[in-house]
Structure 1
């Protein structure tokens, strides 16, 4: 009985060893056939070349590995004060100094009452601007289509934008912020307005500042509303209507 049991146990082991030997011989024969094929230089080059690895990307690969990657899978968003700040910072003497604020700031009261960009435009003193407010369509793309002479600041981070464009209207309304301080932004838009041929009146009330004016040659009008941010930057609302 013991001998019969031993034979039964050993038989599968012998068969497995024989089967493994056949498989090993087949794999070895196939390997010899591939490596012996020296007639194809492209094949041999592909087999012998080293694998190229980018060490900066290697840490991001294999998200299912036990050890996590040593860095985020995507590059971090650069700070708004890096690179762009250097491009937007004015050179010495480049900006004109805006006059001190004077008179009542009716536009400040308008900004306080306005809930939407449409209502902000509808309450403007310029009749063409107010008349075009009902035609506004909301889309961030309008921020890139401001009238000539009243551009978006290079460091602007747009929050909301709207516009209307037809035979009577070329209205743009944009809410945005910049990392530049309040006085710098007042001087920046004052300089742009004057150089583009606009008038530029400066008013202020309770920390809110407003620059506004018109251009006689084509009837264009603008209003820029500015207030300081807690982080040292500036929040702005820009209403601009292109001329004829």
Structure 2
């Protein structure tokens, strides 16, 4: 879920070092060069600052440090290894209690606003599952919400959280999390189909543009998982409400 431009945290941290190191400049030689120092610090200070809209998910409020959870980071190569995928699959089987069920073929559907921002994603989900349609206006952005997902619909095992928001403002109990996993799309769809079925939420499977959408509801409790392929990974916007 993308927002405005943000500076990488490493560049901001380098800027914070400038006052502490300013005294070194007073000792520079006549040729203007600094005396030798830690090469890592020197490299950080000399690094060109960058602005990338995709980094907005690190600091949704454009702050250098976002309280409430760790910043999102790229998935390291080792987490996409066959061993990591096998471990994630094994944990998924443990969570569903048996081999996951296979979701039916998706029904056709219209594209949605999922994946743009947490609020638009939540509004798309709540429009599909009526209760709590006004809850998206009260979303709070913090990574702690990823740890507050309902037990019946967790983040896929070993998924790497990219963004998180939520609200417990009455009568809402809304969670919106974006994460990525190296596990193939079809297996992730089957996982949420199975979890929805076993939670009694009567899930459905449809397409929304390039997204596979697994959505279910029982009374005021509802969930929607928007699952897509992105950058050789599987990306999921998972929305739950009333759970």
TM-score bucket (shorter structure): 0.5 to 0.7
Secondary structure of 1:89's aligned partner: helix
**CA offsets per residue over residues 12-63 of structure 1, 9 Å max, x none?**
xxxxxxxxxxxxxxxxxxxxxxxxxxxxxxxxxxxxxxxxxxxxxxxxxxx9
User: Considering only aligned residues, what root-mean-square deviation do their CA atoms show, in Å?
Assistant: 2.4
Judge conservation of contact 1:144–1:152 (CA < 8 Å) in 2.
no
Measure how far apart 1:116 and its partner are.
Answer: 1.5
Measure how far apart 1:84 and its partner are.
Answer: 4.3
**CA offsets per residue over residues 119-157 of structure 1, 9 Å max, x none?**
221233233342111110000110110123111111211
Residues of 2 paired with 1:229 and 1:195: CA distance?
28
Query: Which residue number in structure 2 is paired with residue 156 of structure 1?
Result: 159
Query: Which residue number in structure 2 is paired with residue 97 of structure 1?
Result: 102
Secondary structure of 1:80's aligned partner: helix
Q: Counterparts of 1:61-100 in structure 2 under 5 Å?
A: 79-81=78-80, 84-90=84-90, 94-100=99-105
Gaps of 5+ in 2: 1-37, 40-75
TM-score, with normalisation over the residues of structure 2? Answer: 0.60
Judge conservation of contact 1:147–1:242 (CA < 8 Å) in 2.
no
Residues of 2 paired with 1:81 and 1:132: CA distance?
35
Judge conservation of contact 2:166–2:174 (CA < 8 Å) in 1.
yes
Residues of 2 paired with 1:211 and 1:135: CA distance?
24
Greater relative contact order: 1 or 2 (C-alpha under 8 angstroms, separation 6 or more)? 2
Query: Which residue number in structure 2 is paired with residue 221 of structure 1?
Result: 222
TM-score, with normalisation over the residues of structure 1? Answer: 0.60
Distance 1:206 1:134, change over 3 A: closer
Residues of 2 paired with 1:229 and 1:185: CA distance?
14
Measure how far apart 1:207 and its partner are.
Answer: 2.9
Residues of 2 paired with 1:160 and 1:237: CA distance?
9
Aligned residues: 162
**CA offsets per residue over residues 67-110 of structure 1, 9 Å max, x none?**
xxxxxxxxxx77114554333214596110001111424xx323
Measure how far apart 1:200 and its partner are.
Answer: 0.7
Judge conservation of contact 1:122–1:129 (CA < 8 Å) in 2.
no
Residues of 1 paired with 2:132 and 2:183: CA distance?
28
